[in-house]
Amino acid sequence: MYSISVVMWCTPVLTSTLTFGTVLLLGVWLDAGTLFTTTTIFNNLRDPIRTFPQSMISISQAMISLGRLDRYMMSRELVDDAVERDKGCDGRTAVEVKNGAFSWDDESKEEDLKHINLNVNKGELTAIVGTVGSGKSSLLASILGEMHKLSGKVRVCGTTAHVAQTSWIQNGTTEENILFGEHGINLSGGQKQRIQLARAVYQNCDIYLLDDVFSAVDAHTGSEIFKECVRGVLKNKTVLVVTHQVDFLHNVDLILVMRDGMIVQAGKSNDLLNSGLDFKQLVAAHETSMELVEMSTTIPSKSSPSPQISPQLSSNHREANGGNNSLDQPKSDNRTSKLIKEEEKETGKVSLHVYKVCIN
C-alpha cells in the first residue's frame, strides 16, 4: 500500500511530463493560453490524486469495521437457560456437565469443546491443565454460560465468581477496586491480578473459577496465593483453577487434563502420572524448562570470580527482601551476557537499499 502511495504522489509530475512530451512528438502547436490552461488543470488534480490512496485505505477500513459491527449485531444471543443454576442444592454436586458440546461461533457450529463430562463436588479444588489452546479457559466460559451450547447439560449449584486471565482494574483506590468503585494504570500485572482475586473473594460466592491467576506473579507470590487464598480463605469453597504450575497439582482434589477441546484424563496427580501420557508430558516439559532456567542462571563468570557467600547469610538476605527465591540473580558477564547491547551506528549517506525497503 505504501508503494502505491509513492506512485500516486509522483503521478502529477509523470502525467504532465507524458502529456507535454506526447504533444511535442505529435507536432501539436502549444500557445501560452493552452499551456497555462493545461497546467492549471494538472495543478487542480494534484491533491485529489495524492489523497486517493489514503481515501481507498479509509474506505476499506470503514467497510471492514461496518462488516464486523453487522456480524456482531446480527449474531445470535446467548440462551439464558443454557446453564441450569440452582442456588440451594442439597446434594454433593457443585458443577456438572454431561455430554457437553460448546462453540464460540454461532454460525459455523464448530465444536470448540466436545465430549465434556465433568462432575465437581462441593468443597473440592479442581485443577484444569493442558497445553496452550487446549480449551482450558473455554471450559470455564462454558460453565459460566458464555459459550453457545450445542448439546448436553450444564448444571451449577450456587453462586459463581470468575477471575479472568486478563485483569480488569478500575481507576481508583485499592478499596474502591475491591468494593467496585471506576482502569488502573499505576499497578503492575501481579498487583492487578491480586486485586482482582481479592474482589472475587470479597463476593463470598459458592463456586470460584480462577483462570490462570498465577501467571502474572512470581513463584514465591504464587505459592503464597495458593496457600493463603486458594487453600486458606477458599478452603471450604468449590474452586476450579486453570494453571500451568504443576508444583501445586499434588495438593488438589481433582486434575482435568485437556487436549483439543476435550477432557482426556481426570484423576489425582499420582494416578495420572502412572496411567497416561498427556499429564506426564506436561510435567516433563515443566521440569525440562526449569532445568534450562537453572542452567542459564548458574553459568559461572569467567572474567571475575564472584565472592563466596555463606548459605546462612544468603538465606537471611533473601528473607529480609520478602521471599525465598529458588533462583538467584546471576551477575552479568561484561563480555558475553550484557542485558543492553550497544547501539549500532552508521555514518555517511543513506544507501539506495533503504529507499527500496521503504518503497516496497
pLDDT at position 62:
94
Same domain, yes or no: 211 and 66: no
Say what the pTM is: 0.61
Question: Do 163 and 197 form a contact (C-beta atoms < 8 A)?
Answer: yes
Per-residue pLDDT reduced to its tens digit, 62-121:
999 999 999 888 877 777 778 888 876 667 888 888 988 888 887 777 888 888 898 888
| pLDDT given for residue 323 in this prediction | 40
Percent of the chain with pLDDT over 90: 4
Q: Are residues 38 and 56 in the same domain?
A: yes
259 falls within a domain: yes
Note down the domain range covering 172.
Answer: 80-289
* Pair (234, 277) in one structural domain: yes
Check whether residue 32 and residue 176 sit in a common domain. Answer: no
Q: Which residue type sits at 186? A: N
The answer to whether residue 131 is domain-embedded is: yes
139 and 236 share a domain?
yes
- Amino acid residing at 56: M
Pairwise CA distance, residues 135 & 98, whole Å: 17
Return the DSSP state at 28: -
The kind and range of the H/E element at 326 are: none
- Return the number of other C-beta atoms located less than 10 Å from residue 136's C-beta: 25
User: pLDDT of 203-231, one tens digit each?
Assistant: 888 889 988 888 777 778 888 888 888 88
Residue 319 lies in a domain: no
Average confidence score pLDDT of the chain: 75
- In this prediction, residue 63 carries a pLDDT of 94
Last-in-domain residue among 50, 74, 98: 74
Same domain for 53 and 135, yes or no, is no
Say if residue 163 is in the same domain as residue 70: no
Below-50 pLDDT ranges, the chain: 182, 184, 300-341
Number of separate domains in the chain: 2
- Return d(Cα 98, Cα 147) in angstroms, integer: 15
281 Cβ contact list (under 8 Å, min separation 6): none
* CA-based end-to-end distance of the chain: 9
Q: Is the CB of residue 205 less than 8 Å from the CB of residue 158?
A: yes
* DSSP secondary structure letter of residue 19: H
From 289, 308, 332, give the residue that closes a domain.
289
- Of 289, 310, 336, the position where a domain reaches its end is 289
pLDDT value, residue 192: 79
In a domain? residue 54: yes
The enclosing domain of 120 has a CATH number of 3.40.50.300
